[in-house]
Amino acid sequence: MISLGQKQEVWFTEPADIETASDDYASRFAGQVGEWMLNIQESIVLCFLRQGNISTVLDVGGGHGQLAVPLCREGFAVTVVGSADSCSRRINGMIDSGICRFQVADLLQLPYPAKSFDAVVCFRLLTHCDRWQILISELCRVARTTVIIDYPTSQSVNFAAQKLFGAKKRLEGNTRTFRLFRHDEIKKEFAAHGFSIETRESQFLLPMVLHRQLKCRRLSAWLETKCKHYGLTQRWGSPIIIKAVRKD
């Protein structure tokens, strides 16, 4: 059942990471434009992780491999936790070779003691989770120092996303409903668990669906470079990547 009301409440019949770990979802980032999008995400996350004394990383819902692959390549000790065995299929090569660990678990009740990992990352998940507050509490609980997540914000060109969802669905075909967040509600939730937002980085000013339809990496990169140069991306861009750090 899916409902999008005034409070943007969303219910899903299965954990969101099962879909994001699928080949169909991976097709959204196929080709040069998709690769360019993932490169931007990867560079921001690696920059955040290199700023601290971090060696162990838990990737919650990361069976899509968008971060597990580059993090393992950079030498981090990565554990991916997913909701089902099927969530490991896209990273099986790394698991079989011992480069990466994978575990099946309830993502809202992670099977790890407090502060088990130096850092916890969670991408493509918060926006599709109806109990997102519980998810954040679990990310904070098992992180020793750092939590890095992404989320789309209503304080961007995405403010009209719900009204334009039908058009987006017709263009992309395999898009899903998602929740938009305000920066202050994310900040408040992390603060409730002893974390403060150290850094916030916007990825794109223009909607990702527009870049997918343009199908021209050079043009998309040029447009976004101009937007970033004039400060538009940081103020009005989305999705957001934040680095939250433990205060105590």
Domain holding 54: CATH number? Answer: 3.40.50.150
**4 domain-assigned:** no
The closest alpha carbon to 201, from 34, 6, 45, belongs to 45
189 occurs within a structural domain: yes
Classify residue 36: in a domain, yes or no.
yes
Which pLDDT tens digit goes with each residue over 111-163? Answer: 999 999 999 999 999 999 989 999 999 999 999 999 999 999 988 876 655 55
pLDDT of the residue at 3: 33
Angle between helices 183-191 and 132-142 (to 10 degrees): 50
Asked if residue 9 belongs to a domain, the reply is: no
Q: Which residues of the chain carry a pLDDT beneath 70? A: 1-13, 158-177
Return the structure tokens found at 68. Answer: 């597990």
Establish if 148 belongs to a structural domain.
yes
Flag whether 7 is in a domain. Answer: no
Q: Give domain status of residue 2, yes or no.
A: no
How many structural domains does the chain have? 1
Domain span at residue 231 reads 16-246
Condensed to tens digits (0 to 9), the pLDDT of residues 60-72 reads 999 999 999 999 9
Asked if residue 1 is part of any domain, the answer here is no
CA atoms lying within 13 Å on the CB side of residue 57: 31
Residues 6+ apart with CB under 8 A from 164: none
